Amino acid sequence: MSNIRLFFSESLSLNLTAKLDKSQSHYVSKVMRIKKSEVFSLFNSSGEWEAKIIDISKNIVEFNITKQLRQKQSPKELWLVFSPIKSNYFNFMIQKATELGVTKFLPVIFDRTIVRKINKERLEKVIIEATEQSNRINVPIIEESQSLDLFLKNNKTDLIFTDLNTTNKKIDLNQITSNPTCVIIGPEGDFSEKEREQILKYKGVQSIKINENILRSETAVISALSIVNYAIN
């Protein structure tokens, strides 16, 4: 079987016959040059499946599902609350966070956030590509931008607060529950004092210092997620 794996948004099941969309068909047949009768893999929340090409007509690939390769997964929920940043760094941050197991992205507009709009459609494409590359099955969700007040009010999580002002460098596993573990990363200008006070009042919050140096947002995300993954997995 080829090493091609693609996200397929529609339902997948044994013996299903269906077609790839125009973009995926082009990638499979023209870029990767996979021929009729060869196989590749498709995945979504139902699991991962082997697909055999049965026809390539008018540049559209038709396939048949021949077997299931992996069952669906129920990973520990790992959320990321972050401030939007400039697009070239933004794509990199989302890509690496997906590779590190984030299951939900929650963009928050902080007091010192500079970039206040996101291109959700573009970021969803980055997420799917990173999911395909990193051998994950479940594609992370990205929500619309919201305020910090709204996030704190509407979500019950084990909140990991990356705080430059704390001296604590370890996660207390006794405070980790069955709730989603959520890492919160501030904007490039850091949290305002009001925001720090709001976050520290949140039930279930832990403050940790991830580095003595001041990190760029995308570096802070990778560092914090690596620390959290090591602690909880």
User: What residue spans define the domains of the chain?
Assistant: 5-71, 78-232
Name the residue among 137, 150, 62, 77 with its Cα closest to residue 107. Answer: 150
CATH class of 78-232: alpha beta
Check whether 42 has a pLDDT greater than 70: yes
- Give the pLDDT band of residue 19 (cuts 50, 70, 90): very high
How large is the average pLDDT for residues 123-130? 96
Per-residue pLDDT at 214: 85
Same fold, 5-71 and 78-232: no
pLDDT tens for 209-222 read 998 888 899 999 99
Q: Which option is the CATH number for 5-71: 3.90.180.10, 3.20.20.70, 1.10.3720.10, 2.40.240.20?
A: 2.40.240.20
- Give the pLDDT band of residue 1 (cuts 50, 70, 90): low
> Which helix (H) or strand (E) is 16 found in, with range?
none
Task: Give the predicted TM-score (pTM) of the model.
Answer: 0.92
Per-residue pLDDT at 189: 87
Q: Are 127 and 142 in contact (CB under 8 A)?
A: yes
How large is the average pLDDT for residues 52-71? 95
How large is the average pLDDT for residues 45-52? 95
